């Protein structure tokens, strides 16, 4: 039996190769996974033209996944460095990479990335439109916008962020309910500007069925972008954000009617006490579709440390229902991240995702922690380092400060509680001088 998308297959009772792989990774019954994909509660982004893909699932009952952003800008145009970042992100076990390049002719880079990457690849075609078409924003036509989307789909992009929810009505909410930070979404601000300059409706809202045609043809998952996500804790959960979320819920149902897979993007900057309620709102208004959050960053005053502010918010968000975390690096709000920034962002996001998986009761999540605890109880430092989320850093710290006794560390030395409890419980003598 033929099918167009993973959702189409699931609704026809077909278990695809991608579903089998994801079910095995997630320790989930494949028929249960098929039901979740059919209901839209799990997506398997898998463009038909992404031949190197090792598929992952995102959504209800699955491990929390993380995404890493790369891409060139006019000020930092080094394609080889961005490919190096992509390879490093894959080594560090990110499940997705988004190419956010916003300058130059990026198709060659995008194709090289898709050809080498076994992870999900996402893009924001709006970023590419100005550079690819070599035109001023206000002069880009509706047909030209869709030509960029189609090119990304042809190249093999698995999921695309499309800001279809910022229509004229949502834009009025932004204008009539002024924010401290206005619209901080790059793609959303470009579409807002295009609508204002041309006095026209958002083409990705007005011609949404045309977008669905492309996504259905290539099995591209739509990541419905949150143009009105808060860029400061002051702006969180305001009228514009909620108005757009309601629209995204309506667009989700229209996509599902065409068997097109959907994720919903979310905040943003947000105080800790608002996060759980926002996760509930998204799941309710968007009918249980997987939720992809950008942070949330829980305080605005920590530039240089926003991988930490984001990991705090990401852990709470994922434990409260979010399914996919976009990493944030220490360079957020300051500059394009370098390789070390990227690593710190990935590790912070992976910690947040794993902490949430423990809270959500994801099968096998606690096994890793229990193995680490057992190694600590045995004072087995090689095993601890092997199990660490960042073995390189753990090993380096151990090497930099050697203790007198090999089975201790330089914090406690002979007073190590793990070592001493082990000895006492084994009936051995104890000397700590």
- Binding region: 69, 98, 127, 163, 185-187, 226-229, 265, 269, 292, 333, 409, 412, 416
Positive/negative CA dihedral, 211, 212, 213, 219: positive
Distance of alpha carbon 111 from alpha carbon 117, whole angstroms? 10
Binding-site residues for [4Fe-4S] cluster sit at 409, 412, 416
Helix axes 208-218, 239-257, angle to 10 degrees: 50
Feature table: binding site for substrate: 69, 98, 127, 163, 185-187, 226-229, 265, 292
Q: How far apart, in whole angstroms, are the C-alpha atoms of residue 15 and residue 187?
A: 35
Q: How far apart are CA 109 and CA 343, in angstroms?
A: 21
Which parts of 148-270 are beta strand (E)? 159-162, 221-224, 262-266
DSSP character at residue 109: H
Backbone torsions φ then ψ of 81, nearest 5 degrees: -65, -40
Binding positions for Zn(2+): 269, 333
Q: Which residue has the tokens 């297959």?
A: 9
Nearest CA to 174 out of 130, 127, 126, 231 is that of: 231
Rounded CA-CA distance 294/266 in Å is: 6
Cis peptide before 70 (omega within 30 of 0): no
Distances in whole angstroms, Cα of residue 242 to Cα of each of 90, 196, 234, 322, 332: 35, 21, 14, 17, 25
């Amino acid at each position: 039996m033929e099918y167009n998308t993973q959702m189409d297959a699931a609704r026809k009772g077909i278990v695809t190769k991608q579903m089998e792989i994801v079910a095995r990774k997630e320790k989930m019954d494949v028929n249960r996974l098929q039901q979740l994909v059919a209901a839209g509660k799990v997506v398997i982004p898998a463009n038909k033209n992404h031949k190197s893909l090792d598929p992952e699932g995102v959504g209800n009952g699955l491990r929390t996944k993380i995404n890493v952003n790369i891409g060139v800008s006019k000020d930092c145009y080094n394609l080889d460095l961005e490919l190096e970042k992509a390879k490093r992100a894959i080594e560090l076990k990110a499940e997705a990479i988004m190419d956010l390049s916003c300058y130059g002719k990026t198709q060659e880079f995008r194709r090289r990335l898709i050809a080498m990457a076994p992870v999900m690849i996402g893009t924001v075609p709006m970023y590419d439109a100005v550079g690819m078409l070599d035109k001023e924003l206000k002069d880009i036509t509706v047909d030209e916008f869709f030509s960029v989307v189609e090119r990304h789909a042809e190249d093999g992009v698995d999921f695309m962020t499309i800001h279809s929810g910022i229509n004229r009505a949502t834009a009025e909410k932004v204008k009539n309910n002024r924010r401290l930070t206005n619209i901080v979404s790059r793609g959303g601000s470009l579409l807002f500007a295009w609508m204002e300059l041309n006095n026209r409706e958002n083409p990705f809202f007005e011609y949404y069925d045309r977008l669905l045609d492309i996504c259905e043809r290539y099995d591209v998952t739509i990541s419905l972008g949150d143009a009105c996500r808060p860029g400061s804790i002051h702006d969180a959960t305001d009228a514009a954000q909620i108005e757009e979320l309601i629209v995204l819920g309506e667009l989700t149902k229209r996509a599902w009617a065409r068997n097109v897979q959907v994720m919903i993007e979310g905040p943003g900057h947000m105080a800790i006490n608002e996060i759980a309620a926002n996760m509930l709102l998204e799941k309710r208004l968007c009918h249980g579709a997987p939720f992809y959050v950008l942070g949330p960053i829980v305080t605005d005053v920590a530039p240089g440390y926003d991988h930490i502010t984001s990991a705090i918010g990401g852990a709470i968000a994922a434990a409260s229902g979010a399914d996919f975390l976009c990493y944030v690096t220490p360079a957020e709000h300051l500059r394009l991240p370098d390789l070390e920034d990227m690593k710190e962002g990935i590790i912070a996001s992976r910690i947040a995702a794993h902490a949430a998986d423990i809270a959500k009761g994801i099968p096998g999540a606690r096994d890793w922690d229990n193995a680490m605890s057992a190694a600590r109880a045995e004072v087995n430092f090689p095993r601890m380092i092997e199990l660490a989320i960042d073995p390189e850093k753990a090993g380096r710290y151990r090497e930099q400060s050697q203790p007198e006794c090999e089975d201790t560390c330089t914090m406690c030395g002979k007073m190590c509680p793990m070592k001493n409890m082990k000895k006492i419980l084994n009936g051995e003598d104890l000397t700590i001088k």
